[in-house]
Amino acid sequence: MAGRNFLFIPGPTNIPDRIMRAMHLAQEDMRAPDLPAFTKPLYEDVKKVLKTDTGRVFIFPASGTGGWEAAIQNTLSPGDKVLMSGFGHFSNLWIDMNRRFGLDVQALDVEWGEGVPAEQYYEILAADTKHEIKGVFATHNETATGVASDIAAVRKALDAAKHPALLYVDGVSSVASIDFRMDEWGVDLIVSGSQKGFMLPTGLAIVGVSQKALEAMKTAKLPRCFFDFADQIRTNDLGYFPYTPPMLLLRGLRESLNMIAEEGLENIFARHHRYAEAIRRAVSAWGLSLVAKEPKWYSDTVSAIYVPEGINSNDVNKHAYGRYNLSLSIGLAKVAGKAFRIGHLGDLNELMVLATISVTEMALLDAGVKVELGSGVAAAQGYLRGTAKAI
């Protein structure tokens, strides 16, 4: 098919030309004497994205799932009790991982379309007077349902209960796209990945770790090797890595951080909110509904959209991809066949958003959904024109 594929899934996201050029290099010596001049500022600039002055950053050659493992393995012991909540495919995968590690998991089953139940967390933590719960887990952005959760509220629950548990946050599809504040929100471990807000290929797990979590590492008993923070510390302090690093991805990360700094995090957050709202207005104009039940749960990086009963949402994806070269995401687990997803994060602008809405309308019609062509585009256009900066 002529032209390029339009990639509008919630990760991997589109890679800007600047980043691709930054990675288009010959292989280099990962033990060169001048490498620390490159690596040390890299860590400091990732800390700026995480909004931490006191935390430490580790970068592993892995996906976000590897970052999850690193966070768990380095700070917990077999049989430790942890508090979690499942309200989508990825938050449930995190629950499954903790169980596989032999942890005592108290998992709240939350209705899909809602997020982390901070009030329930408070009640459970306040009742845990012996402080048996060692970790509290929160998925900041549930990619399967398009739900964003209030991490500040989770921290308030911990503080109100005067509970010392570590706070673990899955920020794979939120960091560098929507507001995240590691120090202010008292997050002890934040896990992200290179393939979403950082606009890179999959392959880097980025983990922010608080001083409290580093202290917990000293007594944690879960086995670890590849993801051992201690190995990273010994070599990172010198500007190197405990094993062969993916240097091309790290060069791409350098350019990504440059782009993030140039635009400014607050501008990035505002841009993501604006484009997400344009898509939400299109969905409303189509007469469809989001999986996210209320505005307080709306994600600014991905929208999961229900199709009418009797329609298979996978048909929307098939028509979008097969006829129009647009990649949308399928519904997963409980919403498989019932919803499709539009990813709207990373490197995108108004034209990309409007083109995606336009083609999605055609794919919806092809799949049997009765929408009026141009309705969603017009709703998004009106919003984007009304919120555009004057020139």
C-beta of residue 345 within 8 angstroms of C-beta of residue 9: no
pLDDT of residue 291: 98
Q: pLDDT tens digits for 105-115?
A: 999 999 999 99
Contact 55, 79 (CB under 8 A): no
pLDDT of residue 2: 78
Which of 251, 202, 218 has its CA nearest to residue 67?
Answer: 202
Confidence at 389, pLDDT banded by 50, 70, 90 = confident
pLDDT tens digits for 80-99? 999 999 999 999 999 999 99
Confidence (pLDDT) at 4: 87
Report the mean per-residue pLDDT for the chain: 97
pLDDT digits (tens, 9 = 90+) for 205-219: 999 999 999 999 999
Name the DSSP class of 114: B
Residue type, 209: V
Residues 136-155, mean pLDDT to the nearest whole number: 98
How far is residue 251's CA from residue 134's CA, in Å, rounded to a whole number?
37
Mean pLDDT across the stretch 38-52? 98
Asked whether the predicted pLDDT for residue 3 surpasses 90, the reply is no
**Angstrom distance (rounded) from CA 196 to CA 203:** 11
Is the pTM above the cut of 0.95? yes
| Average pLDDT rounded to a whole number, residues 255-262 | 98
52 pLDDT higher than 90: yes
Domains, the chain = 6-12+264-387 (3.90.1150.10), 19-262 (3.40.640.10)
294-313: per-residue pLDDT in tens? 999 999 999 999 999 999 99
Mean pLDDT throughout 45-62? 98
Summarize the confidence of residues 268-281 as an average pLDDT.
98
Is pLDDT at 190 greater than 80 in this prediction? yes
Chain center to CA of 175:
6
5-31 average pLDDT score: 96
pLDDT (0 to 100) of residue 391: 65
Question: 17 pLDDT exceeds 70?
Answer: yes
pLDDT at residue 57 in the model: 98
